[in-house]
């Protein structure tokens, strides 16, 4: 809304595609943006369709509650795989740290609409800024499923031969 007030022509260029299971109460606050076609709700789609949306997107959006340090949506792993820029509306979270470490996007506190609008304005209006990200592929690969499974496997193997802390009957 802030951006559209700044430039009404943005309604012709900006599209936010919501993909997933959203409740009526989730959608009610953005009904006006849906009515003018800026926000398009696709609802729940197949995993294949969801991944397809990610592949054709110019920017991927992920939102988490601030300061939930131990909460990470699996969506971020899909997003890292796409190599598309990420707008993470989060603060003080592992997710924010992941986006920062991998240099795959921008973090903004989800409760700061002016800051979100300012950053989003730069992303959509300044192509140089949009292309300024220099993703760290080595860091991204640390979050790949293969790397994570290998890491888990090595942890499990390190416990081989260890005596269980509790035996039957204790």
Cα separation, 168 vs 149, in Å, equals 30
Query: Which pLDDT score is estimated for 32?
Result: 95
Query: Which pLDDT score is estimated for 154?
Result: 86
- 13 close to 124: Cβ distance less than 8 angstroms: yes
What dihedral angle (degrees, nearest 10) is formed by the CA atoms of 160, 165, 168, 170? 180
- 93 close to 69: Cβ distance less than 8 angstroms: yes
Cα separation, 161 vs 36, in Å, equals 64
Query: Which pLDDT score is estimated for 73?
Result: 78
Please give the chain's pLDDT, 170 residues, in tens. Answer: 999 988 889 889 899 999 999 999 999 999 999 999 999 999 999 999 999 999 999 999 999 888 777 767 788 999 999 999 999 999 999 999 999 999 999 999 999 999 999 999 999 999 999 999 999 999 999 988 888 888 888 888 888 766 655 555 54
Query: Which of 24, 99, 40 minimizes the C-alpha distance to 64?
Result: 99
- 80 close to 128: Cβ distance less than 8 angstroms: no
Query: Which pLDDT score is estimated for 168?
Result: 57
What is the token pair recorded at 164?
A: 């269980």
What pTM was computed for the model? 0.83
Query: Which pLDDT score is estimated for 166?
Result: 55
């Amino acid at each position: 809304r802030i951006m559209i007030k700044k430039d009404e022509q943005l309604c012709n260029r900006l599209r936010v595609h919501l993909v997933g299971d959203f409740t009526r109460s989730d959608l009610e606050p953005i009904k006006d943006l849906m009515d003018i076609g800026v926000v398009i709700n696709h609802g729940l789609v197949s995993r294949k369709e969801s991944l397809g949306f990610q592949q054709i997107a110019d920017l991927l959006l992920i939102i988490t509650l601030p300061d939930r340090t131990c909460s990470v949506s699996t969506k971020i792993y899909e997003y890292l795989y796409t190599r598309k820029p990420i707008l993470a509306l989060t603060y003080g979270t592992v997710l924010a740290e992941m986006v920062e470490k991998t240099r795959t996007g921008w973090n903004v506190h989800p409760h700061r609409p002016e800051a979100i609008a300012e950053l989003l304005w730069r992303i959509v209006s300044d192509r140089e800024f949009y292309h300024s990200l220099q993703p760290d592929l080595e860091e991204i690969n640390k979050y790949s499923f293969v790397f994570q499974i290998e890491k888990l496997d090595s942890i499990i193997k390190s416990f081989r031969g260890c005596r269980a802390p509790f035996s039957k009957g204790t």
